Amino acid sequence: MVASTADPALDGVARRAIRDVFPLYLPTVPFALVLGVAMTESAMPTNIAWSTNIVFAGAAQLAMVTLAGTATWLTLVMTAVVINLRHVMYSAAMAHHFRDQPRWFRWVGPFVLIDQLFALTARRSDLDPPLWRRYYLSAGLFLLVTWVIGVTVGIAVGSAIPTEWRLDIAPAVMFGGLVVLGLTTRPMALAALTGAAVCFAGLGIPNNGGVLLGATAGVIVGFLADKASDRTASDRSATDRYGGAA
């Protein structure tokens, strides 16, 4: 797919993409390993669990693999879909980068549009369309290939590590860390707290229904808190403007 070219700018950009994506790639290594280990403990046969790689979304994959034993089909699918809803946001933010791209790339490119690639490429408006395409694909393919390798290594390692090491708890620790890293604003913290609290209260709901209930409640609370903080901010600036002198 990546044809060799005489244009030195195009050749350089692939290397630069991989160098730039490296700091974002590093945290995916333990994630892939944890996922691989979880696959060996999943209710799904390991090779089927491995094929969740076609979803190429770590959190959703981990949810599917760990829920397989206890959730209904519908809860499992819904939970994974909800986790991946955030990609709609990325798709919206990236649409203008794809507008001047060839049709094949508009179809193929989104397949690898994961959090890390979005963070890396969304702001690269300095590259012209062919360079941007090469940059995006190089980083995206690098992330995809290393991800699948990491998961596969995790499966190999996972079946060798004794259960006393309690690697079964690693997915929960992983998710907890991801939540904390994602909290940049107060409404986000409120959304996360609500999601956790409502899910906890709803643990008795059959088929892991508490997850979707907690997610819904968390989104509503985060959304409302966001709206409220907008209002407070505009009130404050109004006070600054009109009452600041007093």
Tell me the window of 14-22, 41-49, 123-131, 149-157 that interacts with another protein (CB under 8 A).
Answer: 41-49
Residue carrying structure tokens 């599917």: 64
| CB burial readout 64-100, b (16+ within 10 A) else e | bbbbbeebeeebbebbbebbeeebeebeeebeebbee
69 binds another protein (CB under 8 A): yes
Q: Which of residues 119-148 bind another protein (CB under 8 A)?
A: none
Could you tell me if 55 and 61 are in contact, meaning their C-beta atoms sit under 8 angstroms apart? yes
| CB burial readout 146-182, b (16+ within 10 A) else e | bbeebbbebbeebeeeeeeeebeebbeebeeeebeee
Non-local (6+) Cβ contacts of 69 within 8 A are 42, 43
Q: Which of residues 186-215 bind another protein (CB under 8 A)?
A: 187-189, 191-196, 198-200, 203-204, 208, 210-215
Residue 145's SS3 state is helix
Task: Closer to another protein by CB, 13 or 68: give it.
Answer: 68
Q: Which of residues 100-119 bind another protein (CB under 8 A)?
A: 106-107, 109-111, 113
**Smallest gap from residue 145 Cβ to another protein (A):** 18
**Smallest gap from residue 109 Cβ to another protein (A):** 7
35 binds another protein (CB under 8 A): no
182 binds another protein (CB under 8 A): yes
Question: What amino acid is encoded at 243 in this protein?
Answer: G
Residue carrying structure tokens 């990546």: 2
**Smallest gap from residue 214 Cβ to another protein (A):** 3
Nearest to 139 by CA among 7, 11, 20: 20
**Smallest gap from residue 35 Cβ to another protein (A):** 12
Tell me the window of 14-22, 61-69, 128-136, 137-145 that interacts with another protein (CB under 8 A).
Answer: 61-69
Task: Closer to another protein by CB, 97 or 134: give it.
Answer: 97
* Out of 21, 32, 59, 143, the residue judged to bind another protein by CB under 8 A: 59
